[in-house]
Amino acid sequence: MPRPIQALIHTAALTHNLARARAAAPDARVWAVVKANAYGHGIENVFQAFRGADGFALLDLEEAKRLRALDWRGPILLLEGCFEPRDLELCSRLDLWHVVHREAQIDWLAAHKTQLPHRVFLKLNSGMNRLGFTPQAFRSAWVRLNALPQVDEISFMTHFADADGPRGIEHQLKCFLEATADLQGERSLSNSAAALRLAGDDPQVRADWVRPGIMTYGSAPDYPEHDIAHWDLQPTMTLRSQLIAVQHLQGGDTVGYGSTFTAEQPMRIGIVACGYADGYPRHAGTGTPVLVEGVRTRTLGRVSMDMLAVDLTPVPAAQCGAEVTLWGKGPRGTVLAIDEVARAAGTLGYELMCAVAPRVPVLAAA
Ligand SMILES: *Cc1c(COP(=O)(O)O)cnc(C)c1O
């Protein structure tokens, strides 16, 4: 028997969550963001569920090739644009739309020979200070692009730093609206947090395209302020394993490396075939939520490379072979949101889903 750990990808949940993104931004088109191998889910595993999207956004050229190999003929947007001049050849060959965020990318386009002019998204740095032209440089970048025979339609985008938090997007939205005020072209601003929290009330935030990522993978972008139940999102990935040993502790006994957990009284604990080499976060300390046979309990002590320990007090009947849900969907309709586990480990659902290790078999499920 193979080691019992598996990651299940829930196709129906992916479809549901994408529909939630559409509903959050009515009459905007939707980029399904599938960078980082579809946030760790596998592009091939999400493709059917997401093919109702208007396009796919990603940043790795190899992933763009994989989407075309699945026979996706619709738009694909490279969110970081080209990394070197010859990437433009692939854009021409596979008809990829690409972000233009710095001057050199315009130089490369000007020198590129193509039959088919490229659709580009000119990116404004409206305050996040990651990618994009400053408001001062934006206009001249547009003038240069607009004069190139290699360039077809020019669209405009920016990215929000605080759509999930109290600072909000007002300052960035204002900057974007000013920089693009008299320019013709489609616009794209919103990630998941902006789509869920702000796009419904403001057509300028919805704009022509929204770019939901994390929400479509069943994680709330503004957890813990809101959880997936609040946003009506469903887990799309379950990390599950089994108990491979049961131990009976006496008061004073300790668990795992560093003996960081000490039993106060006699208790049963279970050892789960899942550790940090599977992508489970090593920083999840005692008390991280976990389901055993669908019953909520907690981890104990340090996570080791291949194993972790769980408290069996709430599940006295659990034996070796009992099903353990590290996150996602448990038996009998139970759910452990990835956001809860992430928070206990001082990280985000994003990081956990992207970090599931290659040694974990990934299976498509209903
Ligand atoms: C990753 C990314 C998104 C999606 O962000 P989520 O927070 O996952 O919704 C949108 N736009 C850009 C430019 C991105 O890099």
**Is 221's C-beta closer than 6 angstroms to any atom of ligand 1?**
yes
pLDDT digits (tens, 9 = 90+) for 105-129: 999 999 999 999 999 999 999 999 9
- pLDDT given at position 149: 97
Given a cut of 90, is residue 1 above it in pLDDT? Answer: no
Average pLDDT, the chain: 97
Domain with CATH 3.20.20.10 in the chain: 11-217
Task: Please give the CATH architecture assigned to the domain spanning 237-365.
Answer: Beta Barrel (2.40)
C-alpha span between 71 and 112 (Å, rounded): 26
Mean pLDDT, residues 313-333 taken together:
98
Q: Is the CATH number 3.20.20.10 carried by domain 11-217?
A: yes
Ligand 1 and 214: CB distance under 6 A: yes
Candidates 286, 297, 284, 360; CA nearest to 330 is 297
The arithmetic mean of pLDDT across residues 13-23, rounded, is 98
Residue limits of CATH 2.40.37.10 in the chain = 237-365
Segment 212-222, tens digit of pLDDT: 999 999 999 99
Choosing from 78, 121, 211 the residue with most ligand 1 atoms within 8 A of its CB, the one to mutate for a pocket test is: 211
Q: DSSP alpha helices (H): ranges in the chain? A: 11-24, 35-39, 43-50, 61-69, 87-94, 103-111, 135-146, 170-180, 192-197, 203-206, 338-344, 349-354
pLDDT band for 162, please (50, 70, 90 cuts).
very high
Is residue 59 lining ligand 1, measured as CB closer than 6 Å?
A: no
- What pLDDT does residue 27 have? 92
User: In terms of pTM, does the model score above 0.85?
Assistant: yes
Instruction: Judge whether residue 349 has pLDDT over 90.
Output: yes
